[in-house]
């Protein structure tokens, strides 16, 4: 653990909680794995973070990790699937209590149009038992204060004809699509979802309600508009919503700047309106809690985060909790 990571751990350790409802089965459908010179988060790290909660399986989501360093440019992201497949296989053989990366969602440049098919096939060959779908993030904003997605998308990516030609290649292969965008782009997302009603589309992180740059200090105003967009999404039966990723710095809560991290009660009070509205609009069978770790680790610990989810869902029925914490994710990703 490098110095920066050690300091973050020391900060997180100021708030220690016992896991609530520790027997409740969880599939964490959104986390990353990487091994960078300045940062490391691998299977043993996610396993350590989950301790206390009954996490039985997880889904890995692409993050530019382990790309091939040579060969055709469009094929380099296949290295990420190879990297995660290797990690997951080793983890399964050494710690069978949790199926890390039971599902793998990787990246392929869908603006290749029909030429993306060989890339999809290479991903399938690299992990025939775990590869489930593609995420091609389109987070874009005109403000320099808002960092655009790591895929360096052009504006209006999800409306692009070539992108949609590539997108059309997913459903015939039974692959899902993860969408990552910012709230001003939700209308374009809805247009995409309506154009491909047979494709399972998972919307990450509530559709990215921003709270920095030109959006800082406008939470109430943005929330009103965001709710209208979620109502439109609810009409797209092929869309499943990931409930999480809301405590990232871009959302504007500024937890990461505090002297002491928030506890689960604070998180639940602050964020509950977003969770409740999505569950009300889409239903528990189309919603799943997610950790977005280690990204959200900037703001709170894994145990505190999932405790906040359990507080938010405390009035849900047993069947609704099963969907929110486990079953919706398992169905969406065909685990």
Ranges under pLDDT 50 in the chain: none
For residue 60, the SS3 value is strand
pLDDT in tens, 269-286: 999 999 999 999 999 999
Per-residue pLDDT at 93: 63
For residue 267, give the nearest of 251, 286, 284 by alpha carbon: 251
Percent of the chain with pLDDT over 70: 98
CATH code given to domain 3-332: 3.20.20.140
User: CA 120 to CA 320: how far, in whole Å?
Assistant: 34
Structure tokens at 154: 């052009």
User: CA 274 to CA 232: how far, in whole Å?
Assistant: 15
pLDDT in tens, 76-124: 999 999 999 999 998 776 666 899 999 999 999 999 999 999 999 999 9
Extents of the domains making up the chain: 3-332
293: which residues sit within 8 A by CB, 6+ positions away? Answer: 28, 31, 32, 41, 46, 49, 302, 305
For 285, half-sphere exposure in the C-beta direction (CA atoms, 13 angstrom radius) is 3
């Amino acid at each position: 653990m490098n110095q920066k990571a050690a300091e973050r751990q020391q900060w997180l350790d100021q708030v220690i909680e016992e896991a609530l409802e520790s027997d409740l089965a969880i599939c964490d459908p959104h986390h990353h794995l990487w091994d960078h010179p300045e940062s490391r988060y691998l299977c043993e790290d996610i396993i350590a973070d989950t301790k206390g909660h009954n996490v039985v399986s997880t889904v890995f989501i692409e993050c530019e990790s382990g790309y091939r360093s040579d060969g055709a440019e469009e094929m380099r992201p296949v290295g990420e699937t190879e990297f995660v497949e290797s990690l997951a296989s080793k983890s399964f053989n050494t710690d069978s209590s949790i199926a890390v990366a039971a599902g793998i969602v990787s990246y392929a440049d869908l603006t290749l149009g029909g030429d993306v098919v060989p890339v999809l096939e290479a991903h399938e060959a690299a992990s025939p038992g775990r590869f489930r779908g593609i995420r091609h993030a389109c987070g874009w904003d005109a403000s320099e204060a808002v960092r655009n997605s790591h895929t360096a998308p052009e504006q209006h990516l999800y409306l692009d004809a070539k992108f949609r030609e590539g997108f059309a290649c997913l459903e015939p292969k039974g692959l899902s699509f993860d969408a990552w965008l910012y709230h001003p782009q939700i209308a374009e997302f809805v247009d995409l979802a309506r154009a491909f009603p047979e494709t399972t589309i998972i919307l990450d992180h509530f559709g990215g309600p921003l709270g920095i740059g030109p959006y800082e200090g406008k939470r109430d105003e943005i929330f009103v508009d965001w709710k209208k967009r979620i109502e439109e999404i609810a009409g797209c039966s092929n869309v499943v919503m990931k409930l999480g990723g809301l405590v990232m710095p871009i959302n504007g809560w500024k937890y990461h700047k505090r002297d002491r991290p928030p506890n689960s009660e604070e998180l639940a009070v602050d964020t509950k309106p977003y969770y409740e509205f999505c569950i009300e609009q889409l239903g528990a069978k189309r919603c799943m809690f997610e950790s977005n770790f280690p990204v959200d680790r900037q703001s709170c610990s894994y145990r505190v985060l999932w405790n906040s989810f359990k507080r938010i869902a405390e009035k849900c029925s047993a069947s609704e909790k099963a969907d929110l914490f486990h079953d919706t994710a398992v169905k969406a990703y065909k685990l």
